[in-house]
Each structure stands twice: as C-alpha cells, then as structure tokens.
C-alpha cells in the first residue's frame, strides 16, 4: 500500500480555515490504498511571539522528512514587515531550493473578472524562486540618518536561470499552444537582462517547436489586461514573477482561486504548495474565506507527486462548483469545502 | 515679452509624427506675447547608427540652455536593447536629476478601458527617477559561460527618497482627496523597503491632513484593476513606478493618452516631457499614431513652466475631443492634432 506523508502548516489568519478544507478534499479524493499521514507544524505569528522563532534547524529537519508541504498563509500585522517573510517563507524556499514557483492562471466559466468582455485566460507562470532581488543581499549604512544608503542586490546565475528556463520550455512544449514568453526588463537591468535573454535564446534552440517571445515587464502588465489570451507559458525572474502573478490572479478570478507550488523538481527536498493569497486577518475566524485556492493548491501537490487523475478530479470539481456560484448566496469556508469533497468523491 | 525656449527631440518611429502635433497645439495655445523658440535635436537610432553616439557632452551642454525638453520616443529594434535606454533616456534623467517622474492617470469620459463597469480613475503616480534599480550599478562575471553571475544593485538614499516623498506629499495635499499611497515591497526588499517606509512615515508628520497608506507592489496591481478609484497620489520607487504606470495607463485609456514629465523641481536643469508610449516602429510613418499622449505631455510642460491656464485649455480640449470619438471613423495623427489645435485656440 502507498503512503502520502504530508507536512501541514496552517499558519496565520485564515490559514487554519482554508487548510482544513484542503485536507478534507485531499482525504476525499485519495485512493483507498493510499495511507495519508499528516503532521501539523505551528509556524507563524503565534509561535514567533511566544518563542521568537520563525524556523529552526530542528524544524527544517522535521519538514524534510515529508513528501510535500501544504501551507495556508503566514503573516500578521503584529509582526514587523519582513520578519516572517524572510525568516520563514523565503528561508524555506531557499533552503529547499524551490526554484520553480508555479502559478497557473485560468479564468473558469462563471467566474467574475474585472476585465470587460469575455477574455479567455489560460496560462501558467514559471517564476524563478531562489535568486534575483529575493536573495537578501544588500545592506544599509548610516541607518536612520539623512545620509542613509540602502542597497538591494539582485543575484542571477547562469545555473539558476537555465534550470528554470528549461523547466518552462518543457512545460510549454507539453501544452497544446506551445508558446513561451520571457518577461524581464533587459533594456534597463542590462546585466541580469542579458543573462536571462542569452540563456533563454540558447535553451530555445533545443525546443524548436516552442514559439517564443520576449516582453518587458511594464509592457507585460498592459497585455495582461488587454490581451491575456496571448499568454500560454511565462517564465520570469523572482520579483517580476511576484508582481505579475498577483495581477494575473486578479484578472483570472481573483486571489480566492489562485494556487501556487514552490517546486524542487529534483525531489531532493519536499515541494511546498500554498494559495497565493495571504492570511487576511480582517476576515480570519469568521468562516468567510474561500478555500478554493488552497484546494487547487492541493491539486498541484497531487500532480507533483504523480496523482494526475486525482488532481484532475479536483480541478473538475472546482470548475463545476464555480460554474454554479452565480446568483447563489455566499457559502461558508466549510460549506465550500464540503461541496468540493462531495464532488471529488462522487 | 516672454519667451519659451524649447528643445525638441522627435526621436524614432512615431516620435516625429506625434511631436509635430504636440508643437502644433503648443503654438496654438501660447499667448501672443510669448515668443516660442524651438531647437530640434536628432538623438535616437539614426544618429547612433551614423555616428555611434547617443548623447555627447556637447549635446548635454546644448540641451541645458533650454527651458524644457519635449521628447517623442527613442528606440528601435535595430539597436541592441539597452543601448539607447541607458545611453540616452536614462543618462539624461540622471544628468539632469529628473527625480520626480510624474505620470497622471485619468479615465476621461468616452474613453475605453479594459476594465468592466465604469471605474472612476483619477490619480497621479510620482515615480522616483534617479535611484533604485535604475542606477546601472551591478555587473557580470564569467559572461557567456555556465558559471556566469550577473548582479543588479538597487541604490536608495535618504536624500533621494525624502525629496521625492516630500514632493508627493505636497501634491497630495493640493488635491481634494488628499490621499497618498506608498508602494514598495518592504517585506522582501527589507533594506530599501525600510528606508522608504521610515522616510515616508517621518515626512507624513509634516502633512497631518494627508491620509496615507502603504501597499506592497504585488497587491497594488490587484487594486489597480479591481479598485482603481482607491488611488489619489502614489509615490514609489523607480522600477515599481515603471511597472505600475504602464498598468495604470492601460486601465485608464491606454498608452495612447498617457503623458509623463521627468521633472527637476529645482529648475537647475530643464525638465523633459514625453508620452509614456514607445516609438512603435510597426506603425511609424503611416499617420496612425495618436498624438494625444504627446499633447497631454505638452500640458504638463506648460504647467511646469507656470502656464496653468494654457495647460488647462489643453486638458479641456483633449477631454472634449475624446468624448466625441466614440462611433466616429479613426482620424490620422495630424487630423487629431489639427482638431486639438482648433479647440485650444478657440
Ligand atoms: C509574502 C511574500 C514574501 C511572497 C513573495 O513576495 O514571494 C508573496 O507575495 C508571494 O507571492 O508568495
Ligand atoms: C524605455 C525605458 C528606459 C523607460 C523606463 O523603464 O523608465 C520606459 O519604460 C518608461 O517608462 O519611460
């Protein structure tokens, strides 16, 4: 009999509520012979306030022992900006070498979009997850004085860029339209931009059936609202990926349905799956959060572990559920989770 | 009698066509007693190909002698990415210390937006223009090898941040809603982020009547498409400003109507005004380009030089022209310029 050994990090705010529904749907969809074992971790604001810890070496060792990680949300206004982000979220992405940050955007039938007309949106963003301006390189001198200077260093390596570009080409090749766009700002950030562009063009030679284009990040935001159907697969740097995936989520149904995977394709460390939304403390504990993004993150998790049929059942259940929402009264977090669990089981 | 001594840089692609209309409207709106003197400069791709020069010391000295600069567009696919951007556009912003990059976004009646509903959009972005990731700091080692490392250094100073933040607060205070949003990514770019946030909070104490908020750049892209009416004045870093002003232009009528000013408020060097759009080589020379963004940039130029009434006449003429466009056949570049010139003169 098979087993799925899952680390669960509910985290802060609505994290608890949405993760509970994610697990509900996961249990419902898994084949009988798969033994699901979950271990919950208490990372986040409460633990930080209680112990001052964000992620210890022992935590990292414990997390390593799992097949994958499901995360709700980390972050609370009571913690200074950057502490949990750098001390937990980014630390984990770097330690576990989550270099493929995968974020699909699909506008499903019946889902509202802020865009006029009926745009057809179905693309995935492959965001680099371990380099760029996210490395924490940089510093501050003369802090707090009128002569303060603060720097941030974006670090980009041929190794790091090539592996994520290669991953994106493979994903593009496996999709019907076989299109890949590189998004950067190579006319201004010429050092990093030329590295990205050269590596992209070199790898492109190995994928002659993939149609490529290059786009500056500023122009890309225009296309995302005026011609989102233009995109199939996008590959981009860590910071540009952060920005455009929030915009992509907004135009394709909102962050209530935006899923993401922090993937280490080598399998050396567990990959982590999480909704794109944050901890939303303003609505926490009220049963108002939409667990759909977490449930879709569970589908990404299953696909990553080879449970393709089960992942597809979740995607179908979510599509069907969303298609029936229009005009109905709002449901609670657990009502949505229940409905999805019934659909995937049925 | 007064004089307006203007440096004119038509540049590449549609730059020539749109600048001609900008000058047409400028001549029509200026009071009789103002002597307009223009001097044209041939910067851009043609000169670069002919001489290898982008902007020489002599060019800079010649430009300095003017009250302001009107720019069409610089850039052509025949020139490697970055050469004209770094060698001309950014060089000039840095040399002339254009630290206030001003970009208004207003959705005018009758103008199409990709957003559903009828959003009310009227805000200005004050983008820092001389620091951040645009400084050209950084470098490459082992170029072209599998061990290449490329860095980009964002440089931020208390001096540079404070002056642009102060400018933005003053602009917010002068507007009816008196709201100012700081956009950054201070949870990840903690060195630069804390500098921006601290300076912002310190200057805020001097403007108690201005309502402030902080927003991460990724979240800001969501609000720009779901709640654009939320914004009044935005102040942000050079790169974030580049990205969000293209998105802002897209949602508020497109880059055909997006104007910008590269402003040195001290007056030590001439400020430069330009449409946000590029040289659009695909439609160059066909009379298809919309000169409205350039004409609105002329209005920003006039306001900067104290010709407030004339600037207002241009804004009104553009509003009236746009309001009458729906359902009419498309006009040529010069037809639109003629119509605007008639309106401002009348
Ligand atoms: C919370 C923050 C560190 C994170 C990021 O910037 O990557 C978030 O915005 C995301 O997109 O996952
Ligand atoms: C052409 C480029 C250097 C420029 C920038 O990035 O600032 C442009 O995108 C702009 O917004 O004016």
Q: What is the CATH number of the domain that holds A11?
A: 3.40.718.10
Give the model's pLDDT for residue A110. Answer: 87
Distance in Å, alpha carbon of B219 to nearest chain A alpha carbon: 7
* B235 located within any domain: yes
- The string of pLDDT tens digits covering residues B18-35 is 999 999 999 999 999 999
- The string of pLDDT tens digits covering residues B44-76 is 999 999 999 999 999 999 999 999 999 999 999
The predicted model scores a pTM of 0.97
Give the model's pLDDT for residue A158. Answer: 98
- In terms of domains, do B247 and B287 share one? no
* B161 located within any domain: yes
Residue where a domain terminates, one of B205, B224, B252:
B252
| DSSP 8-class letter at A62 | H
A115, A150, A243 member nearest B156 (Cβ): A150
Protein residue closest via CA to atom 5 of ligand 1: A242
- In terms of domains, do A153 and A248 share one? yes
Closest-approach residue (CA) in chain A for B250: A222
* B230 located within any domain: yes
Residue B229 beta carbon below 6 angstroms from any ligand 1 atom: no
- In terms of domains, do A179 and A232 share one? yes
B242 in active site: yes
- In terms of domains, do A126 and A231 share one? yes
- Residue (of B270, B245, B271) closest to B259 by Cα position: B245
Distance CA A86, CA B187 (A): 8
Give the model's pLDDT for residue A190. Answer: 97
CB of A26 within 8 A of CB of A58?
no
Give ∠ CA B201-B204-B206 in degrees, rounded to 5.
135
Distance in Å, alpha carbon of B28 to nearest chain A alpha carbon: 33
- In terms of domains, do B126 and B238 share one? yes
- In terms of domains, do A87 and A212 share one? no
* B72 located within any domain: yes
Q: Is B218 marked as a binding-site residue? A: yes
Residues in chain A: 346
Domain span holding position B78: 1-104+262-346
A307 in active site: no
A214 in active site: no
Q: Is B106 marked as a binding-site residue? A: no
CB contact under 8 A, A81 and B219: no
- In terms of domains, do B134 and B239 share one? yes
pLDDT grade, residue A170 (50/70/90)? very high
- In terms of domains, do B42 and B79 share one? yes
Residue where a domain terminates, one of A184, A218, A252:
A252
Give chain B positions within 8 Å (CB) of A226: 114, 250, 254
Q: Is the pLDDT of residue B326 over 90?
A: no
- In terms of domains, do B119 and B176 share one? yes
**Close Cβ partners of B37 (under 8 Å, ≥ 6 residues apart):** B3, B4, B5, B6
- Contacts of B23-26 with CB under 8 Å at 24 or more apart are B23/B70, B24/B337, B24/B338, B24/B340, B24/B341, B25/B295, B25/B298, B25/B314, B25/B317, B25/B337, B25/B340, B25/B341, B25/B344, B26/B70, B26/B298, B26/B301, B26/B302
CB of B139 within 8 A of CB of A191?
yes
CB of A256 within 8 A of CB of A248?
no
Closest-approach residue (CA) in chain A for B162: A146
- In terms of domains, do A167 and A85 share one? no
CB of A245 within 8 A of CB of A123?
no
Give the model's pLDDT for residue B346. Answer: 76
Chain centroid to Cα A132, Å, comes to: 17
Distance CA B124, CA B105 (A): 6
Q: How far is the CA of A183 from the centre of ligand 2 (A)?
A: 15
- The string of pLDDT tens digits covering residues B276-307 is 999 999 999 999 999 999 999 999 999 999 99
Burial class for A325, CB neighbours closer than 10 Å (0-12, 13-18, 19+): middle
- In terms of domains, do A285 and A299 share one? yes
* B257 located within any domain: no
- In terms of domains, do B248 and B128 share one? yes
Give the percent of chain B with pLDDT over 70. 100
Backbone CA torsion sign across A329, A331, A337, A341: negative
DSSP H helix total and E strand total for chain A: 12, 12
Protein residue closest via CA to atom 11 of ligand 2: B242
B134 in active site: yes
Residue where a domain terminates, one of B201, B228, B252:
B252
Q: Reduced to 3 states, what is the DSSP secondary structure of residue B265?
A: coil
Q: How far is the CA of A242 from the centre of ligand 1 (A)?
A: 6
What's the structural domain count of chain A?
2
Q: Is B246 marked as a binding-site residue? A: yes
Closest-approach residue (CA) in chain A for B159: A146
Mean pLDDT of chain A, nearest integer: 97
């Amino acid at each position: 009999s098979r087993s799925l050994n899952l680390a669960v990090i509910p985290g802060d705010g609505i994290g608890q509520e949405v993760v509970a529904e994610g697990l509900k749907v996961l249990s419902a969809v898994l084949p009988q012979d798969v033994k699901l074992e979950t271990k919950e971790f208490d990372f986040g604001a409460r633990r930080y306030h209680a112990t001052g810890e964000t992620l210890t070496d022992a935590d990292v060792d414990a997390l390593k022992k799992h097949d994958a990680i499901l995360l709700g949300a980390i972050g609370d206004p009571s913690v200074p900006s950057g502490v949990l982000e750098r001390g937990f979220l980014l630390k984990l992405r770097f330690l576990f070498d989550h270099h493929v940050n995968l974020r699909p955007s699909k506008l499903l039938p019946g889902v509202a979009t802020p865009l006029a007309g009926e745009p057809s949106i179905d693309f995935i963003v492959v965001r680099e997850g371990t380099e760029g301006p996210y490395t924490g390189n940089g510093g501050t001198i003369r802090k707090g004085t009128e002569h303060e200077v603060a720097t941030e260093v974006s670090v980009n390596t041929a190794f790091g860029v090539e592996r994520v570009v290669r991953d994106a080409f493979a994903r593009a090749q496996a999709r019907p339209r076989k299109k890949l766009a590189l998004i950067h700002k190579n006319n201004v950030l010429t050092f990093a931009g030329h590295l990205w562009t050269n590596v992209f063009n070199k790898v492109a030679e190995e994928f002659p059936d993939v149609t490529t284009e290059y786009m500056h990040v500023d122009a890309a935001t225009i296309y995302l609202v005026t011609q989102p159907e233009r995109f199939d697969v996008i590959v981009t740097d860590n910071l540009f990926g952060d920005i455009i995936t929030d915009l992509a989520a907004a135009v394709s149904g909102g962050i209530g349905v935006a899923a993401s995977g922090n993937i280490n394709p080598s399998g050396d460390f567990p990959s982590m799956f999480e909704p794109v939304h944050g901890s939303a403390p303003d609505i926490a504990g009220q049963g108002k959060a939409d667990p759909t993004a977490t449930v879709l993150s569970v589908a990404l998790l299953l696909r990553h572990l080879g449970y393709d049929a089960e992942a597809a059942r979740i995607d179908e259940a979510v599509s069907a559920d969303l298609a029936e929402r229009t005009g109905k009264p709002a449901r609670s977090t657990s009502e949505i989770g229940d409905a999805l669990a019934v659909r995937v089981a049925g």
